[in-house]
A and B are shown apart, each in its own frame.
Chain A
Amino acid sequence: MPRLPQTPQNPRRSAPKWVRRLIGPVLLFGLWLLFANTGVISERTLAPPGKVWAAFTDLVRTGELQHHIVVSLHRVVIGLVLGIAIGVVLALASGLFRIGEDLIDGPMQILRSMPVLALTGLLIVWAGIGESVKIWMVVLGVVFPVYINTFAAIRSVDSRLVESSATFGLGRVGLIRHVILPGALPGFFTGLRFAFAVSWLVLVVAEQTNATSGIGYLAMNAREFLRNDILVVTLFVYGALGFLSDALVRLLERSALTWRPSFIAA
């Protein structure tokens, strides 16, 4: 039988992974540069990279961009903190107590199928057009993913672990502390990642309705004045913030779930 040649993989032949990962984005950027500068894409459709960079440096120099980012971050952080707190408290109440489930879970399951953004109008009627509407919209966006995932995680903790831990002398409080809450933590983190993503999504919309500051306002304003270049800048800012917040959750997850096989191996 002919033997297949067993050539060892030459490690020098392929570039490091991060370099290979960069090829796609760099290519995309090159195409943008090419098409914008040769006029294939008109400036009114998509500003060329040079103009976007100029707009970016302009906004940074005047301090405008930093101001809007700080305002948006402020809203997102407050909304996230409140939303996560409310979501967790509700999930604990309905996950750990039968009466809690009866009272809370039904309404939550109904409300969660409602798109948060559809509530914008109602929230404006309730809370006016000030700062609080934007924060409450983020809160509403965040509460549901946190609640749904944490509640499901509490309920799906392995009952055999609960049973055996009870035979080893853990009471109800001990079971909650040593078995149920740690067991539900991975599910909570899944909810947290959704919450972070949703919070930016909601804020984009909230800031484009009756706002006078924030990245959403910057984008809306740019649209009014047909400032294509600034619009692209805001898109990049959103992208960067979304990326950073996802990295933050992953960092938290890594430090809280060190026992998971995927993290042990790493």
Chain B
Amino acid sequence: METQLHRSLIGDDDLNRLLDETDDAGAAVLPSTAAAPAVDAREVAKVFGNRRVLDGVNLSLRNGEFVAILGRSGTGKSTLLRILGGLDPAFTGTVDVPQRRAFVFQEPRLLPWKRVVDNVRVGLRGAAGKREASAALDEVGLHDHHRAWPKTLSGGEAQRVALARALVREPELLLLDEPFGALDALTRIKMHVLLQTLCRRHHPAVLLVTHDVDEAILLADRVVVLDEGHITLDVDVALASPRLRADHAFGELRSQLLAALGIDEIAEGDRA
């Protein structure tokens, strides 16, 4: 398998610690080993009332692989992400994920009573935590905002803090739940570039939930379409970088994905 390709930069001690620990998020969640895929979800199902939101989803991610999940509203994208993140222990099936996972939500979810740097180091210990938090903030370009209060930040800045808070934990799996959905178009473009830079540097496996087909094609190695609780399409994004929306192949893939999402006419209109 190709799992060694994008192994993140963690020491042997860390690996041993990960292997020794068991996850308390749910009995079916097992810590993965270095040789195994970063994420391996088998027959994951989830029922809300009498609605099967997820109906036997199989999904695996290699280490360092960037996968985008597309789907219409209410198709269980976020639910799948929450299950993989350990936020939802009530599901059936087996889920094999790394111990070190980090979430970025659609809203920044910063603690308004903590300064930016203290938000980033929440849950980390001691002086080392503070140092790493400062470094992470510098990395996302917020050199001047370490001591700022969250309420004084713009939407894009707040989301960069959320990104720094996730990355400072050196996650092996980064879970992004429509992280750029609430940002304006220009800020979103900047955030795409930032995210790509950070992923190249840290090599986490990334699972991105999004509504934005272009965003998925721009960022992901692979795009998965979720519909009515099933994965209905799973395509590799075989485009050379830099990926440009104007490229023919980009447009082809967009049409294919939009068709899978049930909007053929708009796809036709786009091509014309």
Q: Decide if A164 is an interface residue (CB 8 Å cutoff).
A: yes
**Per-position contact with B for A156-199: 1 when CB-CB < 8 Å, else 0?**
00001101110111100010001100110100000000000000
- By a CB distance below 8 angstroms, the chain A residues around B169 are 168-169
**Per-position contact with B for A135-169: 1 when CB-CB < 8 Å, else 0?**
00000000000000000000000001101110111
Whether B122 contacts A170 by the Cβ 8 Å rule is yes
Q: Decide if B10 is an interface residue (CB 8 Å cutoff).
A: no
Q: Once the chains are docked, how many angstroms separate the CA of A163 from the CA of B150?
A: 18
Whether A164 contacts B114 by the Cβ 8 Å rule is no
- By a CB distance below 8 angstroms, the chain B residues around A165 are 111, 122-123
Binding site secondary structure of chain A: helix
In chain B, positions 132-181 with a C-beta closer than 8 Å to chain A are 149-152, 165, 169
**Per-position contact with B for A252-266: 1 when CB-CB < 8 Å, else 0?**
000001111100100
Q: Decide if B105 is an interface residue (CB 8 Å cutoff).
A: yes
Q: Decide if B103 is an interface residue (CB 8 Å cutoff).
A: yes
Given A168-B169, A264-B151, the answer on whether A183 and B123 have CB atoms closer than 8 Å is no
Given A160-B109, A161-B109, A259-B112, the answer on whether A168 and B151 have CB atoms closer than 8 Å is no
Whether A179 contacts B111 by the Cβ 8 Å rule is yes
Q: Once the chains are docked, how many angstroms separate the CA of A185 from the CA of B113?
A: 10
Given A168-B102, A261-B151, A264-B152, the answer on whether A182 and B123 have CB atoms closer than 8 Å is no
Whether B111 contacts A163 by the Cβ 8 Å rule is no
- By a CB distance below 8 angstroms, the chain B residues around A160 are 105, 107, 109
Whether A182 contacts B165 by the Cβ 8 Å rule is no
Q: Once the chains are docked, how many angstroms separate the CA of A176 from the CA of B111?
A: 13
Whether B165 contacts A264 by the Cβ 8 Å rule is no
Given A182-B113, A183-B113, A264-B152, the answer on whether A163 and B123 have CB atoms closer than 8 Å is no
Residue total for B at the interface (Cβ-Cβ under 8 A): 22
Q: Once the chains are docked, how many angstroms separate the CA of A170 from the CA of B123?
A: 5
Q: Once the chains are docked, how many angstroms separate the CA of A170 from the CA of B111?
A: 13
Partner of A161, one of B87, B111, B151, B152: B111
Q: Once the chains are docked, how many angstroms separate the CA of A153 from the CA of B62?
A: 44
**Per-position contact with A for B80-116: 1 when CB-CB < 8 Å, else 0?**
0000011100000000000001110101010111100
- By a CB distance below 8 angstroms, the chain B residues around A258 are 149
Whether B109 contacts A164 by the Cβ 8 Å rule is yes
Whether B107 contacts A259 by the Cβ 8 Å rule is no
Q: Decide if B235 is an interface residue (CB 8 Å cutoff).
A: no
Q: Once the chains are docked, how many angstroms separate the CA of A185 from the CA of B87?
A: 27
Q: Decide if B124 is an interface residue (CB 8 Å cutoff).
A: yes
- By a CB distance below 8 angstroms, the chain A residues around B112 are 259-260
Q: Once the chains are docked, how many angstroms separate the CA of A156 from the CA of B226?
A: 34
Given A170-B122, A178-B111, the answer on whether A164 and B103 have CB atoms closer than 8 Å is yes
Whether A178 contacts B107 by the Cβ 8 Å rule is no
Nearest chain-B residue to A171 (Cβ)?
B123
Whether A260 contacts B111 by the Cβ 8 Å rule is no
Nearest chain-A residue to B120 (Cβ)?
A168
- By a CB distance below 8 angstroms, the chain A residues around B113 are 182-183, 185, 257, 259
User: What are 19 A-B contacts defined by CB distance under 8 Å?
Assistant: A160-B105, A160-B107, A164-B103, A165-B111, A167-B86, A167-B87, A168-B102, A168-B122, A168-B169, A169-B124, A169-B169, A170-B123, A174-B123, A178-B122, A182-B113, A258-B149, A259-B151, A264-B149, A264-B151
A contact set with B: CB distance below 8 Å: 160-161, 163-165, 167-170, 174, 178-179, 182-183, 185, 257-261, 264
Known: A169-B169, A183-B111, A259-B112. 15 other contacts (CB 8 A): A163-B87, A164-B109, A167-B102, A167-B103, A168-B122, A168-B123, A168-B165, A169-B122, A169-B123, A169-B124, A178-B122, A182-B113, A259-B113, A259-B114, A261-B152
